[in-house]
Every structure is written in structure tokens, then in C-alpha cells.
Amino acid sequence: MDFAPTSAQRKAASTKIVIAGGFGVGKTTLVGSVSEIQPLRTEALVTNESEGVDDLAAVPAKSTTTVAMDFGRLTLAEDIVLYLFGTPGQRRFWFMWDDLCLGAIGAIVLVDTARLDESFSPLDYFEHKGLPFIVAVNQFEGVQQYSLDEIANALALPPEVPIIAIDARDRESAKSALLRVTEYALQKLTAQLSVGVH
Amino acid sequence: MAPLDPSGMDDEATPKPRFVRPYTITAGRTESSVDLPMEATLRTQGDGTGGLSAAALKVLEVCDTRSVAEVAALVHMPIGVVRVLLSDLVEHGHIRVQATITNDSSRDERIELIERTLRGLRTY
């Protein structure tokens, strides 16, 4: 391609990390504690029989509903902005995750130990898609009922998947989850390199 | 490209809409021809906004340095509608889309992006 853009033009100007988890687990709280803007909400139209987001052609004939996603923004440097997208964890929203996860650095599955079952669906999805993900156990009021090992076992996590405890309300704690998933994504990419996968 | 009324439900032609149907804003179009990931940021360029619809102008006004998702949130339109409008603005040279990681990105490009993100996060 003679007309390929220069590397400066091709250098990504923005990127994203996906925050998945059940209702009320603290996704928007996590986004809000590190975002430089108040979390914003964007909506996608969904038809009840939808295979895709915004299948507007089908709108007149089918009843529709909207799915809301809260997101935040972190300007990390002059040349890079990181967006955090909180997404509903239920399996019925899988169809829109493809859109959300394409090009993402990785995902954080936010877990509430009182409702572990709500994490199964996002875990399955990210594993299936090969998107690097970590598990972050949101500790409400600092209550630690189970060890991280016990939670990893209950979730049947593959041993290489990082699992950490965070307080989604705390900026540094939320940031540590972002760092962990980004480091893990890098580690996975470079490991593939050293194995010689082209 | 998609028909507006695939089911032929003509008796639905005069419903009592609670709001403007999204495809009205986009003149019936449902797909954008430009790749517009949620996190892709836009830059305005050139001048002259003649012939743009009110909705397109509204989008153009807020989109500089912002992402597709931010624009949708700020103009209170569904993401799919905003993608169609942004796609038109790109094709007419009013805006350009800044690079993101795509399926076609090389491993080197991904590593470069992640390293830059890590450096930024550590000092954030």
C-alpha cells in the first residue's frame, strides 16, 4: 500500500477498557471515581428480536427498548484518551458487546460476592472472544467474607486470570484495576510474541 | 438501504409518535459507511456548513476532540443515529476520524498503544 498513512496518523488517539458486571455491582461508581468528566450515558436502540444494535430498519414493526451504557473519559497524555465503558452483564446484552469490545485493551469484570452468578455471563463472553480480562471484587464497606482464592474457585477462573479486590469508590483503587488489566493485556501480547506467533 | 416498512404494515403509517423516530433524523438510513468505533475521536476541519440538517449541525457543533459515544450522549441521540450523521460529515469533509485499534491493527501497533496507555495511567 503506497498510500498507507504515516505512523503518526495511524497511532491510535484513543482507546477503551470495558467494565462489565451485574446490575448495581458498582460499574458506574468505578467509572466515576477515575473519570475526568461526570459519567455520561449513551443509549442504543434494541428491538426485542434484535441481532444487532440500532437495527433501525426493524423499528416500525417491532417493539423497541433502549440499553444504556455509562462511560467516562481519562485524558492520559496529549496523544491518548482512555474511555471506560460500563456495560450490563446479562447474557441478553451480548449482541452489543461485540461493538463495545472491538479494539478494547481489555475488560474488568466487576464482581459482587453476594451475586457471583451475575459474573458468569461476562466471563464466558470474554473468554470466548479472547479479550484479556481481570476480575475485580468490589468490597463494599471493606467487608471481606471470602478470600480471593475462594472466589476464583467459585468462578472457575483459569489460573492465569488476575483477580484483585478493589473499592470502586476509591480513585487509586479503581486506577489499580485499570493498571492491572492494561499490564495483563501487554503481558499476553508479548508472551505471544516470544512464543513466536507471528 | 433497508426498507422502512419491511412488514408492509401500512395501517401503521399514521401512528401517534411519542417522539421523533430515529430514522426520520437520518432520512431513512440505518447504516453508516464509515467505521466509527464508540471511542473514536473526531476532529472538525474545513468550513462551510451549507446544506447540513439541523441534527447534523448539532452533531458538528459538539464533536471536535470528542468520541462517538460522547457526541451521542451530548446530543441525546441513540448511538446508531449519531453514527449515520457522523458518517455523512466525514464523507463531506467536515470532520475526520482519528485512529483507534481495529481488527487490522498489527501486534506492534497494539503494543505501542498499550505501553502508551500504561505510561499515562501511572502518572494519571
pLDDT digits (tens, 9 = 90+) for B21-47: 666 667 666 677 789 999 999 999 987
Indicate if ipTM > 0.90: no
Name the stretches of chain B with pLDDT < 50: 1-18
Mutation target to probe the B interface, by most B beta carbons within 10 A, among A10, A15, A63 is A15
Residue A31 has pLDDT above 70, yes or no: yes
Which chain B residues are within 8 Å of A69, Cβ to Cβ? 69
| A3 within domain boundaries | no
CB A86 within 8 A of CB A71: yes
Residue A66 in contact with partner chain B when CB distance is under 8 A: yes
Answer whether B17 touches A (CB < 8 Å).
no
B116 and A183 within 8 Å at the Cβ level: the answer is: no
Q: Is the pLDDT of residue A59 over 50?
A: no
Task: Give pLDDT tens digits for A86-98.
Answer: 987 777 777 778 8
Taking the C-alpha atoms of residue B82 and residue B68, their distance in angstroms, rounded to an integer, is 8
Provide the number of structural domains found in chain A: 1
Asked if the Cβ–Cβ distance from B69 to A80 is below 8 Å, we say no
CATH of the domain at A83: 3.40.50.300
Which amino acid, A155?
Answer: L
Quick check: A52 pLDDT over 50?
A: no
Those residues whose C-beta lies under 8 Å from the C-beta of residue A69, and which sit 6 or more positions away, are: A41, A42, A43, A44, A85, A86, A87, A88, A100, B69
A73 phi and psi, to 5 degrees? -135, 135
Q: For residue A148, with 0-12 CB atoms within 10 Å meaning exposed, 13-18 middle and 19 or more buried, which class applies?
A: middle
Question: Can you tell me the mean pLDDT for A94-121?
Answer: 90
**Residue among A173, A102, A168 nearest A131 (CA):** A102
CB distance B30–A99 less than 8 Å? Answer: no
The 3 state secondary structure assigned to chain A is: CCCCCCHHHHCCCEEEEEEEECCCCCHHHHHHHHCCCCCEEEEEEEECCCCCCCCHHHCCCCCEEEEEEEEEEEEEECCEEEEEEEEECCHHHHHHHHHHHCCCCEEEEEECHHHHHHHHHHHHHHHHHCCCEEEEEECHHHCCCCCHHHHHHHCCCCCCCCEEEECCCCHHHHHHHHHHHHHHHHHHHHHHHHHCCC
Task: Confirm or reject contact between B46 and chain A (CB < 8 A).
Answer: no
Residue A54: per-residue pLDDT: 43
- Residue B61 to chain A, least CA–CA distance (Å): 18
Cβ-defined contact of B109 to A34 (cutoff 8 Å): no
In the predicted structure, residue A50 carries a pLDDT above the cut 60: no
A19 lies in a domain?
A: yes
**Does residue A1 belong to any structural domain of this protein?**
no
Answer yes or no: is A131 within a domain: yes
Q: For chain B, say whether A13 makes contact (Cβ under 8 Å).
A: yes
Who contacts A140 (Cβ-Cβ below 8 Å, separation ≥6)? A26, A112
Which A-chain residues 14-53 have CB contacts (< 8 A) with chain B?
14-16, 34, 40-45, 53
In a domain, A84, yes or no: yes
Provide the residue range defining the domain that includes A119.
13-195
Q: Do B4 and A102 touch (CB under 8 A)?
A: no
Say which residues have a Cβ less than 8 Å from residue A160's Cβ, sequence separation at least 6. Answer: none
Within-domain flag for A5: no
Q: Is the model's pLDDT at A76 over the cut of 70?
A: yes
Residue B28 pLDDT: 67
Give chain B as a DSSP string: ---S-TT--GGGSS---SS--HHHHTTT----SS---TT-BEEE-S---TT--HHHHHHHHH-BT-BHHHHHHHHT--HHHHHHHHHHHHHTTSEEEPP---TT--HHHHHHHHHHHHHHHHT-
Comparing A41 with A97, which gets the higher pLDDT? A41
Residue B17, pLDDT score: 45
Q: How far is B7 from chain A (nearest CA, A)?
A: 7
Q: Which three cell numbers stand for residue A88?
A: 450490563
Is A87 inside any structural domain?
Answer: yes
Smallest CA–CA separation between A114 and chain B, in Å? Answer: 30
Q: What is the pTM of this model?
A: 0.83
Q: Residue B69 is nearest to which of A5, A42, A192, comparing CB atoms? A: A42
A81 touches chain B (CB under 8 A): yes
Tell whether B24 is within 8 A of chain A (Cβ): no
Q: Which three cell numbers stand for residue A93?
A: 446484552
